[in-house]
């Protein structure tokens, strides 16, 4: 009887995990610094090196073409970060190929479409694994020294978006003054 119950429990937990878009297991606080980004491929042929990120606040959003809420999350985060200097927003797809990752941006708003050129694909999920990403979407903020200062797994609510804004401000990516 116990053996049968444990199989049912595992099946139920597996179904719930799949429903919640959980794709990686790991401790969300384990990774303290951003590893090398060299395993990433640009969706539109763009190149990004570790040197491009040096001395900048970096906000990464991990997403996938199959993620229902990733569009809203990416739109919310990109709007929150507009007009900031010394900041790089890097969308990172965990899709298995560039074509699938590119499909995420098809038919989207001009704001999201403009991010396609800045997006990368982690086809092997090696980078996501090194970053201890445990859900899609996930957002990671690192300071100008590459130290992770804020992270979130799943779809962020207003309080989490505010925490990202405070972290970005604290890290020194100040809003540019408009005249």
pLDDT 10s digits, 63-105:
999 998 999 999 999 888 888 878 899 999 999 999 999 999 9
Over the chain, what is the mean pLDDT? 80
pTM score: 0.79
In this prediction, residue 148 carries a pLDDT of 93
- Contact partners, residue 63, CB within 8 Å, separation at least 6: 70, 73, 74, 91, 92, 93, 94, 104, 136, 137
Q: Where are the domains of the chain?
A: 25-171
Mean pLDDT (whole number) for 95-121:
89
Mean pLDDT (whole number) for 14-41:
55
Superfamily holding 25-171:
Glutaredoxin (3.40.30.10)
Q: Which residue has the higher pLDDT, 121 or 22?
A: 121
């Amino acid at each position: 009887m116990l053996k049968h119950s444990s199989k049912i429990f595992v099946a139920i937990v597996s179904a719930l995990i799949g429903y919640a878009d959980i794709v990686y297991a790991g401790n969300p606080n384990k990774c303290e610094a951003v590893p090398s980004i060299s395993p990433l491929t640009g969706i539109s042929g763009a190149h990004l090196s570790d040197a491009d990120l040096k001395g900048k606040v970096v906000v990464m959003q991990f997403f996938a073409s199959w993620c229902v809420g990733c569009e809203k999350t990416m739109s919310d985060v990109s709007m929150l970060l507009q007009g900031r200097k010394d900041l790089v927003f890097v969308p990172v797809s965990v899709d298995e190929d560039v074509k699938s990752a590119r499909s995420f941006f098809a038919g989207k708003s001009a704001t999201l479409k403009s991010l396609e050129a800045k997006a990368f694909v982690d086809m092997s999920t090696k980078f996501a694994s090194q970053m201890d990403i445990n859900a899609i979407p996930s957002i990671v903020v690192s300071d100008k020294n590459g130290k992770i200062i804020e992270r979130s797994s799943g779809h962020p609510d207003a309080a989490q978006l505010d925490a990202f804004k405070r972290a970005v401000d604290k890290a020194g990516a100040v809003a540019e003054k408009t005249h």
